[in-house]
Amino acid sequence: MSHLNETVARLHREAPLTDTHAHPAMKAYLFRRNLWRRYRSSMVLNPFASRADFNRLESGGVGIVWSANYIPERQLLEDCFLLRVISALLLPAHRKITTGNPFDRLLEMMDAMEREIARRPDRVELAKSVADLRRIREAGKIAIVHTLESTHMLERDPERIDVLADRGVAMIILAHFYDNGFVAHVDGMPEDLWLRRLCTFDFGAGGTPPLTDLGRELLRKMVEHRMLVDVTHCTPAARAEVYAELGRAVPVLATHIGVARLRNDPYNLTDDELREIAASGGAIGVIFMTYWLSPDKPGNGLEVIWQTMEHIHDVTGSWDHVMLGTDFDGFTDPPDDVRDASELPKFTQMLLDRGVPEDDVMKILGGNAMRVLEAGWR
Ligand SMILES: [Zn+2]
């Protein structure tokens, strides 16, 4: 192992390297996969690729994963015949996204992830608090933290936050592809995706009001239970209302996102918002999906990830608000140079090559994510 590789390995261990947005739980539940088996990775958008299974997390030196639980909205299948066919033919859990209620399915997804974790209790463990995280990391294991992608699974019932808090959920991404009754969502599916040429999705993006009364109640409950708020997928107007409602009392997150200065899309954060999130003590996870980061053909990916991170640094004045949120296993098209978790050392090496001091590299890799959890989780 070269000296630099040793440095990268040490930084990953000590930071610890934290991916604030990945979807191994989706592979465990919808594909009924054993996350300790070896599956193929892939350079392109391939729903069968495996990017954040436990072997790849270990070989990439990932210490903590904020595991996003997402039961696909039923409307995706209603809007798209092709998805309906693919899902029916290929998803062992197809019935589970077309029947029953999404909240029960969500709990089943968390159960499935916990069963995968329980296969190797010596190497990976679920953390339900910051104290758990510290203990698990001291034991040298990977820590998994449950998070939710989208509130549609709550079915307009803020009381369900109680159940999720008991399960250890650390954070909720308020919006996703369709209306959820709490907060308005942007169109979150890439326009150049081949699927969009074959199906007409009726996302109803931008709905009003940006934040409903129910949404305000939800935010109050989340803060009361010390659960963090993620504004990714919200409209700019909805994000503004969330910042105002939270009043900088808790850190605000956006875990898998880009910046509007480099790619002008309502999905991305404006410079004012970068400053607003920084002022709340929060942080921004840069998505490892070049589509959202740049309108140009952005090469192999690391370059535009760097440009996005550097922009957040320049606007907020420090590296204290930059994280990574890869979206691996989220049916995304990853950068060619970093197609799965095992290739994350290339990202860290890039930060060192660009001259980012080691202390700041540690913040980006995991220090900032840990600070936010300490401030806003249990
Ligand atoms: Zn997302």
pLDDT in tens, 104-132: 999 999 999 999 999 999 999 999 999 99
Tokens linked to 188 = 């979150």
Structure confidence at residue 300 (pLDDT): 78
Structure confidence at residue 2 (pLDDT): 45
Rounded distance, CA 287 to CA 308, Å?
Answer: 10
Rounded distance, CA 338 to CA 331, Å?
Answer: 15
DSSP state of 219: H
- Which segments of the chain have a pLDDT < 70? 1-4, 297-298
| Centroid of ligand 1 to alpha carbon of 132 (angstroms) | 26
| Centroid of ligand 1 to alpha carbon of 191 (angstroms) | 15
Structure confidence at residue 1 (pLDDT): 42
DSSP state of 341: G
| Gyration radius (Cα) of the chain, Å | 19
Which of 302, 241, 237, 233 shows the shortest CA–CA distance to 268?
Answer: 233
Rounded distance, CA 96 to CA 92, Å?
Answer: 9
| Centroid of ligand 1 to alpha carbon of 328 (angstroms) | 10
| Centroid of ligand 1 to alpha carbon of 68 (angstroms) | 9
| Centroid of ligand 1 to alpha carbon of 149 (angstroms) | 7
Structure confidence at residue 96 (pLDDT): 85
| Centroid of ligand 1 to alpha carbon of 24 (angstroms) | 14
| Centroid of ligand 1 to alpha carbon of 177 (angstroms) | 9
| Centroid of ligand 1 to alpha carbon of 176 (angstroms) | 6
Structure confidence at residue 205 (pLDDT): 85
By residue count, the chain amounts to: 378
| Centroid of ligand 1 to alpha carbon of 195 (angstroms) | 17
DSSP state of 61: T
| Centroid of ligand 1 to alpha carbon of 256 (angstroms) | 7
| Centroid of ligand 1 to alpha carbon of 267 (angstroms) | 10
Q: Does the CA dihedral 80-177-347-63 come out positive or negative?
A: negative
Helix H segments across the chain? 3-14, 24-30, 54-59, 74-79, 81-90, 94-98, 102-118, 130-138, 161-166, 194-198, 213-224, 236-246, 271-279, 290-293, 302-316, 344-353, 358-362, 368-376
pLDDT in tens, 258-316: 999 999 999 999 999 999 999 999 999 999 999 999 998 667 799 999 999 999 999 99
| Centroid of ligand 1 to alpha carbon of 255 (angstroms) | 8
Domains contained in the chain, CATH given: 3-376 (3.20.20.140)
pTM over 0.75: yes
| Centroid of ligand 1 to alpha carbon of 359 (angstroms) | 29
| Centroid of ligand 1 to alpha carbon of 133 (angstroms) | 24
